[in-house]
Amino acid sequence: MFRPLALALTLLATTAWPGYAQAWDYLGGDGETVTLDAVPLRIIASQDAAAGLIPLGIRPVAIYADSAVSDAKALQGLDLSGIEIIGQAWGEVDIEKAAALEPDLIVAEYWPLETTWSGGNDVVAALSPLAPITGPKQGASILTLIEDYEALAASLGADLTASDIAASKATFSASLEAFKAAVAAKPGLTAMAVWAGADALYVAATAGSSELMDFAGWGLKLIDPEVADDRGYWETLSWENADKYQPDLIMVDNRADATMGTALAQPTWTLMKAAEAGQVTDWPAFWLRNYGAYASELDKLTAAINAADAGLAP
């Protein structure tokens, strides 16, 4: 986390003595501290980092995305005007465009289960010669991650007292209270998060997803797979065994619109009673980075819980 003393000195230096630049430092999610001679201004951000920083008033000069920007859920609804797009596929970045921007800093996220930064090792290798890479880490809560972005944004000069930021927080708080009330009203309801592929159904492990850990912490009973993969994300079920688990509510990874269609196309999808009953909703898998998006997705999940029959599961 950014050091409060360094923040105070930075603000003092930029207001009391124009022309004198105070050093900037930040402890990244990888445990390493990045130190620069001055507060970085020209930032290249991963799509997720951009989704965390732009609503807080920090606009990068460039973004690299994991897919076409039009398909990147984390970036939907954000003003990207004037921001260069230097990558639109996982593991790929236009190094010539990146270098021409002369960045001071690369902001990404550290993924402990992957032991690398956003975009993977190839992107890290391409961008690290241009500027230091740092940022928060994926952890046990999206709320904690958003707070980490707030601390980073403040160190970069953001005004966290701005009215639009306060309004987003208030909207989120109201959505969270409604979610907790819906869960409390149906204590027997169980839910399960999945990704549907043409080859198999993938059941998500709660501990592999920050937002699922939030939901569980707020009282939602999630069905965890018996055996997750070696990275701790999924259990893979053949479609013939899609009914191994019987939740009351199925949450489908909504990073791509096609995922729901893939699920519905499987003849065995409705072996799950929740699917047969239409008790299916979105799972905002891995892409939430700001209060506005989180509030919107919580509202959808709350509506699905309110409408669900909690007695489907045996």
- pLDDT tens, position by position, 60-92: 999 999 999 999 999 999 999 999 999 999 999
> Per-residue pLDDT averaged across 96-120, rounded?
95
What's the confidence (pLDDT) of residue 313? 67
Compute how many other C-beta atoms are within 10 angstroms of the C-beta atom of residue 112: 11
- pLDDT tens, position by position, 123-143: 999 999 999 999 999 989 999
- pLDDT tens, position by position, 192-212: 999 999 999 999 999 999 999
What's the confidence (pLDDT) of residue 117? 97
> DSSP readout, 254-280?
-SSTHHHHHHHT-TTGGGSHHHHTT-E
Confidence of residue 59 (pLDDT cuts 50, 70, 90): very high
What are residue 249's phi and psi, to 5 degrees?
A: -140, 130
Using DSSP's 3-state secondary structure scheme, residue 282 falls into: strand
Residue 3 has pLDDT above 80, yes or no: no
What's the confidence (pLDDT) of residue 12? 35
DSSP-assigned letter for residue 124: H
CB 10 within 8 A of CB 25: no
Strand-pairing partners, residue 43, are: 105
Helix pair 142-155, 210-217: axis angle to 10 deg: 120
Mean pLDDT of the chain: 92
Q: Which string of b and e fits 136-161 if b means at least 16 CB within 10 Å?
A: bbbeeebbbbbebbbbbbbbbebeee
What are residue 69's phi and psi, to 5 degrees?
A: -55, -35
Residue 270 has pLDDT above 80, yes or no: yes
User: For 9-13, 226-230, 254-258, which range has the lowest pLDDT when averaged over its residues?
Assistant: 9-13
Residue 1 has pLDDT above 90, yes or no: no
For each of the domains in the chain, give its residue range(s) and CATH number, in order of start.
Answer: 4-160 (3.40.50.1980), 164-307 (3.40.50.1980)
Report how far residue 149's alpha carbon sits from residue 204's, in angstroms, rounded to the nearest whole number.
Answer: 26
Residue 116 has pLDDT above 60, yes or no: yes
Report how far residue 269's alpha carbon sits from residue 201's, in angstroms, rounded to the nearest whole number.
Answer: 9
Residue 11 has pLDDT above 60, yes or no: no
What's the confidence (pLDDT) of residue 7? 37
Cα–Cα nearest to 288, from 272, 299, 279: 299
Per the listing, tokens 């013939």 go with: 240
DSSP strand E in 37-189: where? 43-46, 62-65, 84-88, 105-107, 110-111, 116-117, 133-134
CB 118 within 8 A of CB 108: yes
Joined together, the tokens standing for residue 289 give 């980075």
What's the confidence (pLDDT) of residue 17? 40
